[in-house]
Amino acid sequence: MAAHAGVSQTSVSRAFQEHSPLAEKTRNKVLASARILGYRPNAVARSLITKRSGLAAILLTEATQRDAPDVLFFISQALIQNGFQPLLFPTALEQDGAEALAQAMAFGVDGIVSCVGLSAQDLAQARLRQRPLVLFNRQGADADTSVIACDHAGASSLLASRLYAAGHRRFAVVNGPRDAPVSVLRVEGFLSRLAELGVTAVRQVAGDYHYESGHAAAMALFAGSGPADAATRPEVVFCANDAMALGMLDAVRFSLMLQVPRDVSVVGFDDVPTGRRPAYLLTTVRQPFEEMAQLAAQTLRAEVDNPDTPPQHALLRGDLIERGSAILLPHHTG
């Protein structure tokens, strides 16, 4: 590379360093040769000089990878746009976040975007190691950690209000995993609003965020019910995420032969691409994943570049997406 450009090896190194003392003419020669040769500086060697790896860790659960892949896509793209190379640290369960965090720090990442919950001790450890960390869609255990999240409780509360206004009075809920804080926020927001409206008898069924548990929940709620049970079975099922809502829809329609939304309304949360297809037309809450990812990456960039940057706390609105799987407006006769 140096021979091709007709400069010293030191000049080559300086050409790829910001604010390095190098004549503009020399820098241009080096960059022109780099384009011709397809040369890129060695990232590992550069990290030894800059004391930065250029890596940003993403901590992500298995459930999010499988059922909401847009999260990983948008975070990865946003990190790249902000000068990071993303590095994924998956964890099977939410409760394993501490281990994923330890692995990320062992790789010498410059910063971390965590889509798993972390304790106050975990966050303190990251600060002690001088690793800026942004919580994505998770509540912070302390005020010193940046949090970028969707307003899950607020969106679920609005959903409950709209369903109640449509005349529904018999509700059921399919929960997510017990250790999933997002599921807790969604279900609590939904149930709290129903309680304010006078609806307290809500049947709850356990789920695990996956399609299969939504299918099983439908069988638990409706199997064995016939025309005579129409006045007592749930009119609405709120699933804590879209994957379970899709399983619910398939079971209700094809195993139980009920009509959606005439016999039962089904709603979810996330707005995954599959739910938009004509076979489902799922009514749901859309999380602003792309906007959240951009804000998380920008926040991490600012904290890496300036450790004195104050933490960012942003709660973004989830939008209700009305499709064909639920009755949200009251029927008018006459």
Looking at the fold, whether 194 and 92 belong to one and the same domain comes out as no
Determine contact, residues 230/263, Cβ cutoff 8 Å: yes
Instruction: Report pTM.
Output: 0.82
- Six-digit token string for 158: 């609005």
Q: Measure CA 136 to chain center.
A: 7
Euclidean distance between CA atoms 174 and 217, whole angstroms: 7
Question: Is 280 part of any domain?
Answer: yes
Residues 80 and 138 in one domain: yes
pLDDT top residue among 62 and 317 = 317
Indicate if 217 and 199 belong to the same structural domain: yes
Q: How far is CA 252 from the centre of its chain?
A: 28
Give the DSSP letter string of 286-316.
Answer: E--HHHHHHHHHHHHHHHHH-TTPPPPEEEE
The 8-class DSSP code of residue 270 comes to B
Q: Which is nearest to 303 in space by CA: 35, 18, 52? A: 52
Q: How far apart are CA 178 and CA 66, in angstroms?
A: 18
* pLDDT over 90 at 12, yes or no: no
Q: Are residues 206 and 275 in the same domain?
A: yes
Residue-wise pLDDT tens digits, 158-186: 999 999 999 999 999 999 998 889 999 99
Domain CATH number, residue 269: 3.40.50.2300
What is the SS3 assignment for 326? coil
The answer to whether residue 165 is domain-embedded is yes
Structural domain for 58, as ranges: 53-151+288-317
Q: Look at residue 95 and tell me whether its pLDDT is greater than 50.
A: yes
Residue pLDDT, tens place only, 248-269: 999 999 999 999 999 999 999 9
